[in-house]
A and B are shown apart, each in its own frame.
Chain A
Amino acid sequence: MTYKDLIIIGGGPSGLCAAKTALEAGISVLIIDRSEKLGGQLVKQTHKFFGSKDQYAKTRGFDIAEKLVKDLKNYENLQILINATVVGLYKDKVVTVLNNEKYVRYQAKSIIVATGASEKFLAFENNDLPGIYGAGATQTLMNNYGVLPGKEVVMIGSGNIGLIVSYQLMQAGVKVKAIIEASPTIGGYKVHASKMTRLGVPILTSTTVKKAIGETEIKAIEIVSLDEKWQELPNTSRIIEIDALCISVGLSPMHQLLSMVGARMKFVFELGGFVPIIDDNNQTTQDSIFVCGDAVGIEEASSAMMEGYMTGLFVAKHLNHPHPNHEKLIQYYEEQLKLLRDGPFGEKTKVGLSKLKEGDTHA
Protein backbone atom coordinates (compact mmCIF):
# COMPACT_ATOMS: atom_id res chain seq x y z
CA MET A 1 0.00 0.00 0.00
CA THR A 2 1.41 3.37 -1.05
CA TYR A 3 1.74 6.00 1.67
CA LYS A 4 1.60 9.73 0.93
CA ASP A 5 1.38 12.98 2.88
CA LEU A 6 -1.74 13.99 0.98
CA ILE A 7 -4.22 12.30 -1.35
CA ILE A 8 -6.44 14.64 -3.34
CA ILE A 9 -9.58 12.97 -4.61
CA GLY A 10 -10.57 14.82 -7.78
CA GLY A 11 -8.34 16.59 -10.29
CA GLY A 12 -10.68 19.45 -11.15
CA PRO A 13 -9.90 23.14 -10.55
CA SER A 14 -10.04 22.99 -6.73
CA GLY A 15 -8.04 19.74 -6.51
CA LEU A 16 -5.35 20.98 -8.89
CA CYS A 17 -4.96 24.27 -7.03
CA ALA A 18 -4.78 22.46 -3.67
CA ALA A 19 -2.02 20.27 -5.11
CA LYS A 20 -0.10 23.37 -6.20
CA THR A 21 0.18 25.01 -2.79
CA ALA A 22 0.67 21.69 -0.99
CA LEU A 23 3.55 20.80 -3.31
CA GLU A 24 5.05 24.25 -2.93
CA ALA A 25 5.01 23.68 0.82
CA GLY A 26 7.01 20.51 0.22
CA ILE A 27 4.61 17.66 1.03
CA SER A 28 4.04 14.60 -1.16
CA VAL A 29 0.78 14.52 -3.11
CA LEU A 30 -1.21 11.90 -4.99
CA ILE A 31 -4.03 13.18 -7.21
CA ILE A 32 -6.63 10.57 -8.17
CA ASP A 33 -9.09 11.37 -10.96
CA ARG A 34 -11.63 9.15 -12.70
CA SER A 35 -11.29 10.85 -16.12
CA GLU A 36 -8.74 10.46 -18.86
CA LYS A 37 -7.67 14.06 -18.51
CA LEU A 38 -7.11 16.30 -15.49
CA GLY A 39 -9.11 19.51 -15.26
CA GLY A 40 -12.54 18.36 -14.16
CA GLN A 41 -15.41 20.23 -15.78
CA LEU A 42 -13.05 22.98 -17.02
CA VAL A 43 -12.02 20.68 -19.87
CA LYS A 44 -15.33 21.13 -21.67
CA GLN A 45 -15.81 24.86 -20.99
CA THR A 46 -15.33 26.79 -24.22
CA HIS A 47 -16.36 30.22 -22.91
CA LYS A 48 -14.08 32.91 -21.49
CA PHE A 49 -14.15 33.02 -17.71
CA PHE A 50 -15.05 35.97 -15.50
CA GLY A 51 -13.36 37.12 -12.27
CA SER A 52 -9.98 38.85 -12.21
CA LYS A 53 -6.51 38.04 -13.56
CA ASP A 54 -5.81 35.69 -10.66
CA GLN A 55 -8.76 33.55 -11.63
CA TYR A 56 -7.63 33.58 -15.27
CA ALA A 57 -10.41 35.96 -16.38
CA LYS A 58 -10.94 36.11 -20.18
CA THR A 59 -9.26 32.73 -20.57
CA ARG A 60 -11.34 29.89 -21.97
CA GLY A 61 -12.08 27.11 -19.49
CA PHE A 62 -10.16 24.38 -21.29
CA ASP A 63 -7.10 26.67 -21.45
CA ILE A 64 -7.38 27.30 -17.70
CA ALA A 65 -7.34 23.53 -17.17
CA GLU A 66 -4.15 23.29 -19.20
CA LYS A 67 -2.51 26.08 -17.24
CA LEU A 68 -3.41 24.51 -13.89
CA VAL A 69 -2.01 21.16 -14.99
CA LYS A 70 1.14 22.80 -16.39
CA ASP A 71 1.61 24.53 -13.04
CA LEU A 72 2.14 21.12 -11.48
CA LYS A 73 4.90 20.04 -13.82
CA ASN A 74 8.30 19.19 -12.43
CA TYR A 75 7.25 18.50 -8.88
CA GLU A 76 9.02 15.30 -7.87
CA ASN A 77 6.66 14.79 -4.97
CA LEU A 78 3.61 14.54 -7.21
CA GLN A 79 1.98 11.32 -8.38
CA ILE A 80 -1.06 11.38 -10.64
CA LEU A 81 -3.51 8.54 -11.18
CA ILE A 82 -6.06 8.99 -13.98
CA ASN A 83 -8.86 6.68 -15.19
CA ALA A 84 -9.08 5.76 -11.51
CA THR A 85 -12.32 6.00 -9.57
CA VAL A 86 -12.16 6.31 -5.80
CA VAL A 87 -14.74 3.87 -4.50
CA GLY A 88 -14.06 4.09 -0.77
CA LEU A 89 -12.73 6.48 1.85
CA TYR A 90 -12.02 5.28 5.37
CA LYS A 91 -11.34 6.91 8.76
CA ASP A 92 -7.74 5.72 8.81
CA LYS A 93 -7.22 7.75 5.65
CA VAL A 94 -7.28 4.72 3.40
CA VAL A 95 -8.57 5.35 -0.09
CA THR A 96 -9.69 2.45 -2.25
CA VAL A 97 -9.50 2.84 -6.00
CA LEU A 98 -10.84 1.00 -9.02
CA ASN A 99 -8.25 1.39 -11.75
CA ASN A 100 -8.58 -0.65 -14.95
CA GLU A 101 -10.46 -3.50 -13.24
CA LYS A 102 -7.87 -3.56 -10.43
CA TYR A 103 -8.77 -2.71 -6.85
CA VAL A 104 -5.95 -0.82 -5.16
CA ARG A 105 -5.52 0.78 -1.76
CA TYR A 106 -3.64 3.93 -0.87
CA GLN A 107 -3.13 5.59 2.49
CA ALA A 108 -2.11 9.10 3.43
CA LYS A 109 -1.60 11.36 6.44
CA SER A 110 -4.34 13.62 5.08
CA ILE A 111 -7.04 13.65 2.44
CA ILE A 112 -8.68 16.42 0.42
CA VAL A 113 -12.05 15.52 -1.06
CA ALA A 114 -12.45 17.65 -4.19
CA THR A 115 -15.09 15.62 -5.94
CA GLY A 116 -17.10 18.50 -7.35
CA ALA A 117 -20.80 18.26 -8.13
CA SER A 118 -23.49 16.39 -10.01
CA GLU A 119 -26.32 17.81 -12.13
CA LYS A 120 -29.74 17.89 -10.51
CA PHE A 121 -32.82 16.45 -12.13
CA LEU A 122 -36.36 17.73 -12.57
CA ALA A 123 -39.66 15.97 -11.90
CA PHE A 124 -42.16 15.98 -14.76
CA GLU A 125 -44.11 13.35 -16.68
CA ASN A 126 -41.92 11.14 -18.90
CA ASN A 127 -38.72 12.76 -17.63
CA ASP A 128 -36.93 9.45 -18.17
CA LEU A 129 -37.21 9.48 -21.96
CA PRO A 130 -33.93 9.03 -23.84
CA GLY A 131 -32.81 12.38 -25.24
CA ILE A 132 -33.33 14.22 -21.95
CA TYR A 133 -29.88 15.26 -20.82
CA GLY A 134 -28.27 17.45 -18.21
CA ALA A 135 -26.98 20.69 -19.71
CA GLY A 136 -23.48 19.75 -18.64
CA ALA A 137 -23.94 16.42 -20.39
CA THR A 138 -24.75 18.14 -23.68
CA GLN A 139 -21.64 20.25 -23.19
CA THR A 140 -19.56 17.12 -22.64
CA LEU A 141 -21.04 15.53 -25.74
CA MET A 142 -20.43 18.58 -27.94
CA ASN A 143 -17.15 19.93 -26.67
CA ASN A 144 -15.33 16.76 -25.58
CA TYR A 145 -16.60 14.31 -28.19
CA GLY A 146 -17.76 16.52 -31.07
CA VAL A 147 -21.21 14.94 -31.13
CA LEU A 148 -24.41 17.00 -31.43
CA PRO A 149 -26.97 16.29 -28.69
CA GLY A 150 -29.75 17.01 -31.18
CA LYS A 151 -30.70 19.32 -34.02
CA GLU A 152 -33.42 21.29 -32.20
CA VAL A 153 -33.45 21.57 -28.43
CA VAL A 154 -35.01 23.42 -25.52
CA MET A 155 -33.03 24.43 -22.43
CA ILE A 156 -34.73 24.20 -19.05
CA GLY A 157 -33.19 26.64 -16.60
CA SER A 158 -31.79 30.14 -17.03
CA GLY A 159 -28.95 30.01 -14.50
CA ASN A 160 -25.42 30.57 -15.78
CA ILE A 161 -25.02 26.98 -16.90
CA GLY A 162 -28.30 27.04 -18.83
CA LEU A 163 -27.46 30.34 -20.53
CA ILE A 164 -23.84 29.47 -21.31
CA VAL A 165 -24.62 25.99 -22.64
CA SER A 166 -27.43 27.42 -24.79
CA TYR A 167 -24.89 29.73 -26.40
CA GLN A 168 -22.49 26.83 -26.93
CA LEU A 169 -25.28 24.78 -28.50
CA MET A 170 -25.86 27.56 -31.02
CA GLN A 171 -22.11 27.73 -31.71
CA ALA A 172 -22.15 24.02 -32.47
CA GLY A 173 -24.99 24.52 -34.95
CA VAL A 174 -27.86 23.31 -32.75
CA LYS A 175 -31.06 25.37 -32.81
CA VAL A 176 -32.15 26.35 -29.30
CA LYS A 177 -35.87 26.94 -29.63
CA ALA A 178 -36.36 28.44 -26.16
CA ILE A 179 -34.90 28.79 -22.69
CA ILE A 180 -37.51 27.93 -20.07
CA GLU A 181 -37.33 29.38 -16.56
CA ALA A 182 -39.84 28.60 -13.82
CA SER A 183 -39.09 31.62 -11.69
CA PRO A 184 -40.20 35.12 -12.74
CA THR A 185 -36.64 36.35 -13.34
CA ILE A 186 -33.61 35.08 -15.23
CA GLY A 187 -31.24 33.27 -12.88
CA GLY A 188 -27.81 33.88 -14.39
CA TYR A 189 -25.74 36.87 -15.48
CA LYS A 190 -27.76 39.21 -17.71
CA VAL A 191 -24.86 39.52 -20.17
CA HIS A 192 -25.26 35.80 -20.89
CA ALA A 193 -29.03 36.26 -21.29
CA SER A 194 -28.53 39.19 -23.67
CA LYS A 195 -26.27 37.07 -25.87
CA MET A 196 -29.11 34.58 -26.31
CA THR A 197 -31.80 37.20 -26.92
CA ARG A 198 -29.61 38.76 -29.63
CA LEU A 199 -29.50 35.33 -31.29
CA GLY A 200 -33.30 35.33 -31.43
CA VAL A 201 -33.70 32.72 -28.68
CA PRO A 202 -36.69 33.54 -26.46
CA ILE A 203 -36.24 33.31 -22.70
CA LEU A 204 -39.61 32.35 -21.21
CA THR A 205 -39.81 33.13 -17.51
CA SER A 206 -42.61 31.90 -15.23
CA THR A 207 -42.76 28.87 -17.49
CA THR A 208 -42.11 25.23 -16.81
CA VAL A 209 -42.12 21.90 -18.58
CA LYS A 210 -45.21 19.83 -17.84
CA LYS A 211 -44.38 16.69 -19.73
CA ALA A 212 -42.09 15.14 -22.30
CA ILE A 213 -43.66 13.53 -25.34
CA GLY A 214 -42.33 10.52 -27.23
CA GLU A 215 -42.44 6.73 -27.33
CA THR A 216 -38.82 5.57 -27.37
CA GLU A 217 -37.16 8.98 -27.33
CA ILE A 218 -38.14 12.58 -26.84
CA LYS A 219 -40.04 14.21 -29.70
CA ALA A 220 -41.62 17.23 -28.02
CA ILE A 221 -42.38 18.88 -24.70
CA GLU A 222 -45.47 20.53 -23.31
CA ILE A 223 -44.79 23.79 -21.48
CA VAL A 224 -47.14 25.82 -19.31
CA SER A 225 -47.02 29.25 -17.70
CA LEU A 226 -46.99 29.73 -13.93
CA ASP A 227 -48.64 32.34 -11.72
CA GLU A 228 -46.93 34.14 -8.79
CA LYS A 229 -47.63 31.14 -6.57
CA TRP A 230 -45.82 28.85 -9.06
CA GLN A 231 -49.15 27.19 -9.99
CA GLU A 232 -50.05 26.27 -13.54
CA LEU A 233 -52.08 28.92 -15.36
CA PRO A 234 -54.99 27.42 -17.32
CA ASN A 235 -54.98 27.57 -21.14
CA THR A 236 -51.26 28.37 -21.40
CA SER A 237 -50.16 24.97 -22.67
CA ARG A 238 -47.82 24.93 -25.69
CA ILE A 239 -46.07 22.11 -27.50
CA ILE A 240 -42.50 22.55 -28.74
CA GLU A 241 -41.03 19.89 -31.04
CA ILE A 242 -37.46 18.93 -30.20
CA ASP A 243 -35.09 15.99 -30.45
CA ALA A 244 -33.24 16.68 -27.22
CA LEU A 245 -34.07 18.42 -23.95
CA CYS A 246 -31.38 19.99 -21.79
CA ILE A 247 -31.99 20.32 -18.07
CA SER A 248 -30.05 22.89 -16.10
CA VAL A 249 -31.66 23.18 -12.70
CA GLY A 250 -28.63 23.36 -10.49
CA LEU A 251 -25.80 21.25 -9.14
CA SER A 252 -25.55 19.11 -6.05
CA PRO A 253 -22.28 18.49 -4.17
CA MET A 254 -20.81 14.99 -4.65
CA HIS A 255 -20.78 14.23 -0.96
CA GLN A 256 -20.83 10.44 -1.08
CA LEU A 257 -17.25 9.73 0.07
CA LEU A 258 -17.63 12.21 2.92
CA SER A 259 -20.84 10.58 4.08
CA MET A 260 -19.11 7.21 3.82
CA VAL A 261 -16.19 8.21 6.02
CA GLY A 262 -18.56 9.52 8.66
CA ALA A 263 -17.98 13.26 8.31
CA ARG A 264 -20.87 15.16 9.88
CA MET A 265 -23.03 16.50 7.08
CA LYS A 266 -25.64 19.22 6.94
CA PHE A 267 -28.28 19.91 4.33
CA VAL A 268 -27.87 23.52 3.22
CA PHE A 269 -30.14 24.54 0.36
CA GLU A 270 -28.04 27.57 -0.63
CA LEU A 271 -24.94 25.42 -1.03
CA GLY A 272 -26.72 22.88 -3.22
CA GLY A 273 -27.51 20.00 -0.87
CA PHE A 274 -25.55 17.89 1.59
CA VAL A 275 -22.25 19.47 2.55
CA PRO A 276 -19.75 18.51 5.25
CA ILE A 277 -19.49 20.62 8.38
CA ILE A 278 -16.05 22.23 8.28
CA ASP A 279 -13.84 24.30 10.53
CA ASP A 280 -11.99 27.47 9.44
CA ASN A 281 -9.34 25.33 7.75
CA ASN A 282 -11.79 23.40 5.56
CA GLN A 283 -11.27 20.30 7.71
CA THR A 284 -14.34 18.09 8.15
CA THR A 285 -15.30 16.51 11.46
CA GLN A 286 -13.10 13.55 10.53
CA ASP A 287 -9.52 14.19 11.54
CA SER A 288 -7.25 15.18 8.64
CA ILE A 289 -9.99 14.87 6.05
CA PHE A 290 -10.41 18.18 4.24
CA VAL A 291 -12.71 19.37 1.47
CA CYS A 292 -12.74 22.15 -1.13
CA GLY A 293 -14.55 23.29 -4.26
CA ASP A 294 -18.11 22.40 -5.23
CA ALA A 295 -18.09 19.41 -2.86
CA VAL A 296 -18.42 21.85 0.03
CA GLY A 297 -20.82 24.26 -1.70
CA ILE A 298 -21.80 25.04 -5.28
CA GLU A 299 -20.04 28.13 -6.63
CA GLU A 300 -18.09 29.12 -9.73
CA ALA A 301 -14.78 27.63 -10.81
CA SER A 302 -13.07 30.88 -9.84
CA SER A 303 -14.02 30.33 -6.18
CA ALA A 304 -13.13 26.64 -6.41
CA MET A 305 -9.59 27.59 -7.45
CA MET A 306 -9.09 30.07 -4.61
CA GLU A 307 -10.52 27.59 -2.10
CA GLY A 308 -8.26 24.89 -3.49
CA TYR A 309 -5.12 26.99 -3.03
CA MET A 310 -6.16 27.74 0.55
CA THR A 311 -6.94 24.14 1.43
CA GLY A 312 -3.56 22.96 0.15
CA LEU A 313 -1.99 25.49 2.48
CA PHE A 314 -4.17 24.40 5.42
CA VAL A 315 -3.19 20.78 4.94
CA ALA A 316 0.52 21.55 4.76
CA LYS A 317 0.28 23.49 8.03
CA HIS A 318 -1.79 20.72 9.60
CA LEU A 319 1.04 18.30 8.78
CA ASN A 320 3.54 20.66 10.43
CA HIS A 321 5.08 21.48 7.10
CA PRO A 322 3.70 24.95 6.47
CA HIS A 323 4.29 26.87 3.27
CA PRO A 324 6.97 29.54 3.93
CA ASN A 325 4.44 32.24 2.93
CA HIS A 326 1.47 30.63 4.60
CA GLU A 327 0.01 33.68 6.35
CA LYS A 328 0.44 36.03 3.40
CA LEU A 329 -1.03 33.62 0.90
CA ILE A 330 -4.03 32.73 3.07
CA GLN A 331 -4.77 36.41 3.51
CA TYR A 332 -4.48 37.00 -0.22
CA TYR A 333 -6.76 34.11 -1.22
CA GLU A 334 -9.28 35.09 1.44
CA GLU A 335 -9.43 38.56 -0.05
CA GLN A 336 -9.92 37.12 -3.52
CA LEU A 337 -12.75 34.88 -2.29
CA LYS A 338 -14.36 37.83 -0.54
CA LEU A 339 -14.24 39.86 -3.76
CA LEU A 340 -15.77 37.03 -5.77
CA ARG A 341 -18.57 36.68 -3.21
CA ASP A 342 -19.20 40.38 -2.63
CA GLY A 343 -21.57 41.08 -5.51
CA PRO A 344 -25.30 40.21 -5.60
CA PHE A 345 -24.54 36.77 -7.02
CA GLY A 346 -22.43 35.93 -3.97
CA GLU A 347 -25.30 36.50 -1.54
CA LYS A 348 -26.65 32.98 -1.80
CA THR A 349 -23.24 31.47 -1.05
CA LYS A 350 -22.68 33.79 1.91
CA VAL A 351 -26.07 32.86 3.37
CA GLY A 352 -25.30 29.19 2.82
CA LEU A 353 -21.88 29.38 4.44
CA SER A 354 -23.24 31.15 7.52
CA LYS A 355 -26.00 28.52 7.82
CA LEU A 356 -23.31 25.85 7.64
CA LYS A 357 -21.43 27.44 10.52
CA GLU A 358 -24.58 27.88 12.65
CA GLY A 359 -25.22 25.60 15.55
CA ASP A 360 -22.68 23.06 16.75
CA THR A 361 -19.94 22.52 14.25
CA HIS A 362 -18.03 19.65 15.81
CA ALA A 363 -19.10 16.52 17.64
Chain B
Amino acid sequence: MLNHRGIPTKAQVLSRFPDAKALLRPKAILECYEDIPCNPCETSCPFDAISIGSNINLQPQLIVEACTGCGICVTSCPGLAIIVAQIIKDQAMFKLPYEFLPYPKKDEIWHGINRSGDVICDAKIQSVLFNKKQDHTLQVTVLVPIDYLYNFVTIRAKHE
Protein backbone atom coordinates (compact mmCIF):
# COMPACT_ATOMS: atom_id res chain seq x y z
CA MET B 1 0.00 0.00 0.00
CA LEU B 2 2.74 2.40 0.99
CA ASN B 3 4.92 1.40 -1.92
CA HIS B 4 2.13 1.36 -4.46
CA ARG B 5 -0.04 4.29 -3.49
CA GLY B 6 1.75 6.17 -0.73
CA ILE B 7 -0.80 5.07 1.90
CA PRO B 8 0.41 3.29 5.05
CA THR B 9 -1.59 0.27 6.27
CA LYS B 10 -3.76 0.48 9.37
CA ALA B 11 -1.22 -1.67 11.21
CA GLN B 12 1.61 0.67 10.27
CA VAL B 13 -0.33 3.70 11.49
CA LEU B 14 -1.39 2.06 14.75
CA SER B 15 2.21 1.04 15.46
CA ARG B 16 3.12 4.71 15.75
CA PHE B 17 0.36 5.62 18.21
CA PRO B 18 1.11 5.35 21.95
CA ASP B 19 -1.66 3.72 24.03
CA ALA B 20 -4.83 5.62 24.93
CA LYS B 21 -3.60 6.38 28.45
CA ALA B 22 -0.44 8.07 27.17
CA LEU B 23 -2.52 10.02 24.64
CA LEU B 24 -4.31 11.86 27.46
CA ARG B 25 -1.29 14.12 27.05
CA PRO B 26 -0.31 15.30 23.57
CA LYS B 27 2.22 12.97 21.90
CA ALA B 28 4.09 13.02 18.59
CA ILE B 29 3.11 10.43 15.99
CA LEU B 30 6.20 9.75 13.86
CA GLU B 31 4.90 8.46 10.52
CA CYS B 32 8.30 7.74 9.03
CA TYR B 33 7.97 4.19 7.71
CA GLU B 34 11.09 3.97 5.57
CA ASP B 35 14.85 4.09 6.12
CA ILE B 36 16.10 7.36 4.62
CA PRO B 37 19.13 9.45 5.64
CA CYS B 38 17.46 12.12 7.77
CA ASN B 39 17.43 13.23 11.41
CA PRO B 40 16.10 16.78 11.98
CA CYS B 41 13.29 15.40 14.17
CA GLU B 42 15.86 14.02 16.59
CA THR B 43 18.03 17.12 16.59
CA SER B 44 15.09 19.54 16.86
CA CYS B 45 13.40 17.96 19.86
CA PRO B 46 14.17 20.05 22.95
CA PHE B 47 13.22 17.15 25.25
CA ASP B 48 15.35 14.42 23.63
CA ALA B 49 12.15 12.47 23.06
CA ILE B 50 13.04 11.28 19.56
CA SER B 51 15.81 8.80 19.00
CA ILE B 52 17.54 7.82 15.75
CA GLY B 53 21.20 7.43 16.62
CA SER B 54 24.41 7.60 14.62
CA ASN B 55 22.99 5.71 11.66
CA ILE B 56 20.69 8.46 10.42
CA ASN B 57 18.97 6.06 8.03
CA LEU B 58 17.07 4.36 10.85
CA GLN B 59 13.44 5.29 11.49
CA PRO B 60 12.87 7.56 14.50
CA GLN B 61 11.58 6.10 17.77
CA LEU B 62 9.48 8.13 20.20
CA ILE B 63 10.38 8.07 23.89
CA VAL B 64 6.77 8.47 24.98
CA GLU B 65 7.37 9.61 28.57
CA ALA B 66 9.70 12.36 27.48
CA CYS B 67 7.43 13.75 24.74
CA THR B 68 5.46 16.86 25.74
CA GLY B 69 3.65 17.21 22.42
CA CYS B 70 5.18 20.66 21.86
CA GLY B 71 5.05 20.17 18.10
CA ILE B 72 8.53 21.43 17.21
CA CYS B 73 9.16 18.16 15.37
CA VAL B 74 5.92 18.67 13.41
CA THR B 75 7.34 21.70 11.64
CA SER B 76 10.91 20.42 11.53
CA CYS B 77 10.33 17.20 9.58
CA PRO B 78 11.26 17.84 5.91
CA GLY B 79 8.83 15.07 4.90
CA LEU B 80 5.93 16.58 6.90
CA ALA B 81 5.52 13.10 8.36
CA ILE B 82 4.89 14.02 12.00
CA ILE B 83 1.67 15.07 13.75
CA VAL B 84 0.86 15.46 17.44
CA ALA B 85 -2.27 13.75 18.79
CA GLN B 86 -4.17 13.97 22.07
CA ILE B 87 -7.42 12.52 23.36
CA ILE B 88 -9.58 15.21 24.98
CA LYS B 89 -12.81 13.52 26.19
CA ASP B 90 -14.91 12.85 23.07
CA GLN B 91 -12.59 14.69 20.75
CA ALA B 92 -9.11 14.26 19.33
CA MET B 93 -6.76 17.24 19.17
CA PHE B 94 -4.07 17.30 16.52
CA LYS B 95 -1.16 19.56 15.69
CA LEU B 96 -0.41 19.46 11.96
CA PRO B 97 2.14 20.93 9.55
CA TYR B 98 0.54 23.06 6.81
CA GLU B 99 2.17 24.81 3.84
CA PHE B 100 -0.60 26.08 1.57
CA LEU B 101 -2.56 29.25 0.93
CA PRO B 102 -5.03 30.33 2.12
CA TYR B 103 -3.95 29.86 5.73
CA PRO B 104 -6.55 28.41 8.11
CA LYS B 105 -7.87 30.79 10.76
CA LYS B 106 -9.01 30.18 14.33
CA ASP B 107 -12.61 28.91 14.66
CA GLU B 108 -12.95 28.07 10.96
CA ILE B 109 -14.33 24.65 10.05
CA TRP B 110 -12.26 22.81 7.49
CA HIS B 111 -12.52 19.35 5.92
CA GLY B 112 -10.84 16.56 7.92
CA ILE B 113 -8.86 14.30 5.56
CA ASN B 114 -7.62 10.72 5.92
CA ARG B 115 -4.42 9.16 4.58
CA SER B 116 -6.12 8.25 1.29
CA GLY B 117 -7.01 11.89 0.67
CA ASP B 118 -10.76 11.43 1.37
CA VAL B 119 -12.93 13.84 3.34
CA ILE B 120 -14.04 12.04 6.49
CA CYS B 121 -15.23 14.69 8.95
CA ASP B 122 -15.21 18.34 9.94
CA ALA B 123 -12.13 19.76 11.63
CA LYS B 124 -12.36 22.84 13.84
CA ILE B 125 -9.31 25.10 13.74
CA GLN B 126 -8.23 25.86 17.33
CA SER B 127 -5.09 27.85 16.67
CA VAL B 128 -2.47 28.59 14.05
CA LEU B 129 1.18 29.00 14.98
CA PHE B 130 3.57 30.76 12.64
CA ASN B 131 7.05 31.83 13.68
CA LYS B 132 10.39 32.38 11.98
CA LYS B 133 11.92 29.15 13.26
CA GLN B 134 9.19 27.14 11.56
CA ASP B 135 10.36 28.63 8.27
CA HIS B 136 7.01 28.95 6.47
CA THR B 137 5.56 25.71 7.84
CA LEU B 138 2.44 26.47 9.88
CA GLN B 139 1.59 24.48 12.99
CA VAL B 140 -2.20 24.16 12.99
CA THR B 141 -4.10 22.84 16.02
CA VAL B 142 -7.45 21.24 15.17
CA LEU B 143 -10.21 19.29 16.91
CA VAL B 144 -12.02 16.34 15.32
CA PRO B 145 -14.48 13.82 16.80
CA ILE B 146 -12.62 11.05 18.69
CA ASP B 147 -13.89 8.38 16.25
CA TYR B 148 -11.36 9.67 13.74
CA LEU B 149 -8.29 9.42 15.99
CA TYR B 150 -6.53 6.86 13.79
CA ASN B 151 -7.96 8.04 10.45
CA PHE B 152 -7.59 11.79 10.44
CA VAL B 153 -4.27 13.14 9.21
CA THR B 154 -4.69 16.59 7.64
CA ILE B 155 -7.08 19.38 6.69
CA ARG B 156 -8.37 20.78 3.42
CA ALA B 157 -10.16 24.07 2.80
CA LYS B 158 -13.88 23.98 2.15
CA HIS B 159 -14.86 25.69 -1.09
CA GLU B 160 -18.08 27.66 -1.13
Contact = CB atoms under 8 A, between A and B. Distances in A.
Contacts, number: 124
B36 A342 contact: no
A345 B55 contact: no
A52 B100 contact: no
Contacts of A184: 4
Given A171-B99, A185-B4, A339-B57, A50 B37 contact: yes
A339 B34 contact: no
B32 interface: yes
Contacts of A59: 135
Interface in A169-228: 170-171, 173, 184-186, 189-203, 205
A343 B32 CA distance: 14
B56 A186 contact: no
Given A50-B38, A58-B40, A342-B37, A191 B79 contact: yes
B43 A53 contact: yes
Interface residues on A, range: 35 or more
A49 B6 CA distance: 20
A332 to B, nearest CB: 13
A342 B55 contact: yes
Nearest to A160: B36
A194 B8 contact: yes
A60 interface: yes
Interface in B97-118: 99-101, 113, 115-118
Contacts of B6: 186, 190, 193-194, 196-197, 203
A130 interface: no
Contacts of A342: 37, 55, 57
A83 B23 CA distance: 56
A48 interface: yes
A48 B79 CA distance: 8
B139 interface: no
Contacts of B57: 339, 342-344
Contact of B7 (A60, A185, A197): A197
Nearest to A58: B40
B105 to A, nearest CB: 19
A223 B113 CA distance: 28
B4 A58 contact: no
B20 interface: no
B135 A205 contact: no
B117 A201 contact: yes
A302 B80 CA distance: 19
A194 to B, nearest CB: 5
Contacts of B135: 48, 58-60, 63
A256 to B, nearest CB: 30
Contacts of A189: 34, 36, 79
B55 A57 contact: no
A159 interface: no
Contacts of A316: none
Interface string A42-69: 0000011111110001111001000000
B110 to A, nearest CB: 13
A52 B37 contact: yes
Interface string A329-352: 000000000011111111000000
B51 to A, nearest CB: 14
Interface string B37-59: 11110011000000000011100
Contact of A197 (B5, B100, B156): B5
Given A190-B2, A191-B81, A345 B36 contact: yes
Nearest to B39: A52
Contacts of B2: 190, 193-194
Given A58-B76, A60-B135, A194-B7, A51 B37 contact: yes
A185 B3 contact: yes
Interface of A: 47-53, 57-60, 63, 170-171, 173, 184-186, 189-203, 205, 302, 339-346
Given A50-B79, A197-B6, 14 more contacts: A57-B39, A58-B44, A186-B6, A190-B2, A191-B80, A196-B6, A197-B116, A198-B117, A198-B153, A199-B117, A199-B156, A201-B117, A342-B55, A343-B36
17 contacts: A47-B78, A52-B39, A52-B43, A58-B135, A60-B135, A63-B135, A170-B100, A186-B5, A190-B6, A194-B2, A194-B6, A196-B6, A339-B57, A340-B37, A342-B55, A344-B34, A344-B35
The 5 closest A-B pairs by CB, nearest first: A191-B79, A193-B6, A343-B57, A200-B117, A48-B78
